Amino acid sequence: MKEEIIIAGFGGQGVLSMGKILAYAGLMDNLEVTWMPAYGPEQRGGTANVTVILSDQPISSPVLNTYDTAVILNQQSLDKFESKVKPGGTLIYDPYSIHHAPTRTDINIYPVEAMEATFELSSSKAYNMVLLGSLLKVRGLLPVEAVMKGLKKTLPERHHHLLPINKQAILKGMELV
């Protein structure tokens, strides 16, 4: 098993933390993991992306140019990464901030109304968790319980009261796709 994932969007949307939770969940599930951010001077509003690799074998390069799966949160990222998904791969995106939908026919494309869902959940901060839920459902990478353990590891203790709403968001994402 090896899954090469790119998660891309605006800084502040939870791109890096979504990758982090995924990486921690991989760790909990005894997989090899790498988490490589495209770090830069960007802050909230700029672009942000992270490459996460989960594998049952040792991982060589943490830097990639094609991906099994892309999770896309804004138009710039779609423009940049649609062509980088391997044929037969997966593209998950939120149509909320997309003006030009993806056009490839050789990959599996899943629009997920994640932003709409966060309005229902009344927690916009759980936005990335909705998309993570969709990713888990589509790719069947990891059990939700491993992800919850990963989330508990990444979230500082003072925020642990937010665990239930995050789980709700993940389940919502699984349901939406």
Q: Which tokens in the block code for residue 47?
A: 């672009």
For another protein, give the closer residue by CB, 20 or 172.
20
Q: Per-residue x/- marks for another protein, 13-32, CB under 8 A? A: -------x--xx--x----x
Q: Point out which span in 61-69, 102-110, 128-136, 162-170 binds another protein (CB under 8 A).
A: 61-69
Among 12, 45, 62, 164, binds another protein (CB under 8 A): 62
Distance, CA of 51 to CA of 127 (rounded, Å) = 19
In the window 91-150, what residues touch another protein (CB under 8 A)?
A: none
Residue 155 touches another protein, criterion: CB under 8 A: no
Beta-carbon contacts of 38 under 8 Å, excluding residues fewer than 6 positions away, are: 48, 49, 50, 51
The DSSP call for residue 124 is: G
CB 78 within 8 A of CB 102: yes
Residue 2 touches another protein, criterion: CB under 8 A: no
